[in-house]
A and B are shown apart, each in its own frame.
Chain A
Amino acid sequence: MSVPSGQRSASRRALLTAAPAVLLVVLVIGAALLTALLQSLGFLPVFGEARFSTEAWADGASLLESAGVSLYLATASTALALVVGFLVAAYALTAGRGGRLVAALSAATIPIPHLVASGAIGLLLADAGFLARVLGMPEGFPQLVGDSWWAAVILEFAWKESAFVALVVLGGIGRPVAELTETAATLGASARQRMLHVILPLARVPLGVAGLVVFVYTLGSYEAPWLLGPVAPEPLSVRAVRLFGSVDLSSRPEAMATALTSVAVALAVIGLGLLLTRRSRRRSRAQSGVSS
């Protein structure tokens, strides 16, 4: 997309419109990142003399292991959240009154803080949790909390975030699609056909954006893995919070280094994700013949 000279003032105006949001973000995030970086390098200590040191970054193996765990959790959770979230949205758009009920109930879970949701999933899935009790405490009840597959953690993320995915999809395409699917239904399309051939193609952009947001969020979120995961190994978020909360203030640089590793991974994912969604959005825009 080249910029014809006539559009230059338009894009300047557009930039001005974005300015308040961008300035606010840059200022706050800039301050936070700078502080974190300086602290990780031994400057800005909470006490004592500032002293340059890369010690906090030295334990590369631990950082790498933690990053691996984080990526595993984020990937699995995002995939599951996208599938379920799409199903919720598609069901909401195709199933009339029942669909609206599911959408409303799903939206109702969004305000639950992750801390509480993690607690709830723990109550449900623990060895002597609600599910096990309802089933009569069977011998073979799987260990889901604190297991080496992080099952409860992934389920918690997927449970909370699928509601978010559904909300984004419905917010993004709800109205036009509701009408299109109704049209398709009157033309005799089955629910499955409507989901796969009408809603899914349209939902690609919202799914992409929601997936990106969910991935990055789960990468940095710490309550669920802390509460429901095994003690070792730790994802980046848990490691950062543990070091940050350590009674030994000299662990703070390492906490900041861990947090920054998480930031770096997340930013890389965002960059990659934006490239991909932009491309698919441009394609769908070209196809629909809409110019902006």
Chain B
Amino acid sequence: MTTVTKPVPSSRVPERRPQPSARRASVSGWRRILPVVLGAALLLWILLPLAPVLLWSVAGQWRAPAPLPGSWSSQALESLLSPEILQAGLWSLALGMSVAVAATTLGALAAFSLHRLPRTLSRIVGFLLLTPLAIPPFALVMGANVLLLSARVPTFAAVLIVLTVTALPYTTYMFSVALASYDWRFEEVARTLGASRVRVIRTVRMALLAPAIARAGFLAFLVGWSDYITTVLIGGGQFRTLPMLLGSSASSTGGEQLTAALSLAMILPPVILLAFLARWGARGRISP
């Protein structure tokens, strides 16, 4: 273990993709089957719960014991293009983006300091930054709301503040985890080669941490994108987001089709964002 955990810089230098022929030569029958079985099992695990959602989004009527909908309809998917839903999507997008920027920046700063602080302090700060996870959302929102309302914080900012707090544990620890396997010697090398501090941070650190930035930003985006209770209680109805529409339709009889369609609308933009971030994250060093 001692040897493999050492991310020796030299081991990353060669741009090496395993040659298919070399790999094939080394596997026995069992070795070939295991990954296939595992892959299939994982795919099933991931996709099975989505199957009813996908089917409901295009279903007309569907009742037991029919394994498939009795009739089909594109009505729910079409209604996604209604102005009300599009506008809600824009609000959600704005909220998600704002939380992503705020929480990723603050989380990154906090994670760097966690690694620099002496142990006791680092533990205290680390502990504090995880506390938002421990508080049930409604208790957090009810308590924080009184404070924010008394301080007359503008609505959108108030929502952003609470959601950023909610997202901070994720971003901080996403970075923290990445820093645990981060090799500071790259920065040292760059600096000995004469790069300025800013340049090191921009070209070395940002590039190496790009996957972590992307994933932290993604998680923070999701906090804003999929929030319901904060938007309703702290946002005070000033803007309508997708989860508000989704919550409403999920709480009604006969809303399965729309709920399923809205769920898909919730899934797609973040996935596109993730693909985009992955591409951006990969741009740094590995050419596709």
Contacts and interface: CB of A to CB of B under 8 A. Distances in A.
Direct contact of A and B (CB under 8 A): yes
Interface of A: 1-3, 7, 10-11, 13-18, 20-22, 24-29, 31-36, 84, 87-88, 91, 94-95, 98-99, 101-102, 104-113, 115-117, 119-121, 123-124, 128-134, 136-137, 159, 162-164, 167-168, 170-176, 179-180, 182-186, 188, 190-192, 197-198, 201-202, 205-206, 209-210, 212-213, 216-217, 219-220, 222, 237, 240-241, 244, 256, 259-260, 262-263, 266-267, 270-271, 274-275, 278, 281, 284-285, 287-292
Contacts of B215: 167-168, 170-171
B116 A14 contact: yes
Contacts of B133: 213, 216-217, 220, 266, 270
A18 B110 contact: yes
B31 A116 contact: no
B136 A262 contact: yes
Contacts of A260: 139
B83 interface: no
B246 interface: yes
Contact of A119 (B1, B212, B250): B250
B144 A17 contact: no
Contacts of B216: 171
Contacts of A35: 142-143, 146-147
Contact of A91 (B16, B35, B162, B250): B35
Contacts, number: 354
B5 A202 contact: yes
Interface string B231-250: 00000000000010011001
Given A108-B271, A124-B51, A266-B134, A18 B212 contact: no
A102 B181 contact: no
Contacts of A123: 52-53, 56
Contact of B180 (A11, A16, A110, A205): A205
B219 A167 contact: yes
A28 B161 contact: yes
Interface centre among B52, B173, B174, B247 (most CB of A within 10 A): B52
A24 B106 contact: yes
Contacts of B35: 91, 94-95, 98, 191
A175 B42 CA distance: 22
25 contacts: A11-B117, A14-B113, A17-B110, A20-B109, A29-B165, A32-B135, A91-B39, A98-B35, A105-B46, A110-B219, A116-B259, A120-B263, A124-B49, A163-B46, A172-B174, A180-B11, A185-B18, A185-B23, A197-B1, A216-B134, A259-B138, A270-B130, A287-B5, A288-B7, A290-B183
